[in-house]
Amino acid sequence: MFDQFLGLPLHPLIVHAVVVLLPLGALGLLVLTVWKKGRRVGLPLSVAVLAAGTASAWAARFSGQALRQRVGVADLHANLGGVLPLVATLLLVVAVVWWRLARTDKDPLGVRIVVALTALVAVVMTAVVGHSGAQSVWGAVGESSPPAQSVAPTTSASQPEQTTSSPDEPSASASVSMDRAPETPGYTATEVAEHATAEDCWVIIDETVYDLTAWVNQHPGGADRITALCGTDGTAAFTGQHSGDSAPQQRLTEFELGPLSTE
């Protein structure tokens, strides 16, 4: 129910409602704590906005759990996201109590102080949860290698440079090819097993060897899911977690070392 909508993950869609409605309702309450004349209209309006924001926060929590089972979510973001609906519910209850008291011309200072503090906590908590979610998704963006600089050609198309070489001397292109030729046809499972720590992590996936050292602490599902695979064949684990998802497979290619060879 809280997994996907029209083929897209539901969690990012619901999160947009949370980060708008919850702070909006909380800020409205903060303003009303000092603006007495606006409470008659502002309080019920703020309570309605908070009710929608609180419902969205709970929906975001459940959809986040579904997303974590599918692609993995950072532990910090998952833990914070589990607390935010509780904070939103508390703020909603406090706001409703204040609204009911205000309707009976009872507006004690202590209630307004509690409302203001709870609203501030809700705003800060929403910002922290949103930041942790953005960090888990986009934190690794931009760390890929910079684009290669273009090199101006040394000769024009109309006047190609003529080169000669003796039969005993290899051409420049042959020399480059020899320099780039791998010393071995691939990597053995024994070699992979020697890289079995978080600081030096190689993994076999679908007969290909990958160096995931730089990805260990960036994995959205937590570093422990990668370190458990270091030095082993992680094909079954990767396929079981990401089967049918193209994004993880595409990201994996950035860490490819080469094919797996026989012992």
- Compute CA 232 distance to the chain's CA centroid, rounded to the nearest angstrom: 25
239 CB contacts (<8 Å, ≥6 apart)? 206
Rg of the chain taking only CA atoms, in angstroms: 29
CB 42 within 8 A of CB 189: no
Cα distances from 35 to residues 29, 38, 39, 40, 50, in angstroms, run 10, 6, 7, 10, 18
- Kindly report the number of other CB atoms within 10 A of residue 242's CB atom: 17
Q: Which amino acid is at 220?
A: P
* Token representation of residue 54: 């609180």
**Tens-level pLDDT at each residue, the chain (263 residues):** 555 655 566 677 788 899 999 999 999 999 999 999 999 999 999 999 999 999 999 998 888 776 666 555 556 777 888 899 999 999 999 999 999 998 888 778 999 999 999 999 999 999 998 887 777 665 544 444 444 444 444 444 444 444 444 445 544 444 444 444 445 568 998 999 999 998 999 999 988 999 999 888 888 777 888 889 999 998 888 888 877 677 788 888 889 998 998 76
* Token representation of residue 197: 């720590």
CA atoms within 13 A on the CB side of 166: 2
Beta bridge partners of 202: 211
